[in-house]
Amino acid sequence: MPDSIDLARYAVFTPPDPFEDHTGPFYFRIHGDASKAGTVHCVLPTEPRHGNYAGGVHGGAILTFADYALCLVAGRAADGGTNTSFAMTVSIAVEFLSAGRIGVPLEATGEPLQVTGRLAFARGSITQQGKAVALWSGVVRHVARAKVMGRKDAAAPTSSVAPAQTVPEGFEPLTNASVYSRHIGPSYARKEVDGVTMIQPTLPRMCNSGGALHGGYMMSFADSAVTRAAGVVTGMAPSTVSFAAEFLAAGSSTVPLVTRVEVPRHGRNLAFLRGLLEQDGKPLLSYSATIFLRPKA
């Protein structure tokens, strides 16, 4: 770690968050009034498991870090830094400005914009050694943490045996998935006329501390799907320029996720995509993305 970042002065989120523990660890520190800009500082040490095809930081990892920063900045502004509120992302938009490098920590700071009785708004940036990597903005719903954890306990399965999850015929395993995608879990794809359909069995490690599927996980899966669809349709090498998502409902780790990605329009350098992530026919996440295209090496 750079000399300027002493992780001994930072904390890992509690209670434990399975997806953040699996993909991180993520660290944060609050110094000063949490309702003020720049008082929450987040750090993600990058490792090879965060890698994409090009050897840089995967877009899904950056989206997860942006979601983490949004929930910390907006959530702590809502509860005054006491960690008594549970922040659930309602919507988020991320603009990718430059590639992230493996082996150098990503840092995120933000600015709370407004807090109401149920919602909190914030925006911020992700940097690496002072260079801007991404900009983010979003909205979270904040509720009492004790209430969320009580619901989790009440919904806990009585059996420790996870239900079997099957993949329909016609889907091929993604044996050439990126390091980050493989770290999350196996996924399967089927080519469509104007895009792809992807499916991924879910696991307990894909959940947040409240027991529902983590927002960063769902966006990671969606980002893998949009880049896959752009590559299949255009025959070019894709990289995400911007990604926006609206969270429609909570998901569970008992049923596979399915997403259908369409490529309504593309040119020589850009492709515009949209998709809907569903679980057992229930819409969970609506998203859109702009993809930069370059010739394959």
In the numeric block, which tokens belong to residue 135?
A: 């900009």
* Distance from chain centroid for Cα 152: 21
- Decide if pLDDT at 112 tops 70: yes
Domains of the chain: 7-150+166-294 (2.40.160.210)
pLDDT tens track for 177-213: 999 999 999 999 999 989 999 999 999 999 998 899 9
Lowest mean pLDDT among 76-85, 86-95, 252-261: 76-85
The β-bridge relationship of strands 119-128 and 131-144 is: antiparallel
Alpha-carbon span 235 to 221, nearest angstrom: 21
Find tokens 């993604």 and name the residue.
174
In the numeric block, which tokens belong to residue 264?
A: 């309504």
What pTM was computed for the model? 0.94
Report phi then psi at 66, rounded to 5. Answer: -65, -40
Find tokens 């702590």 and name the residue.
76
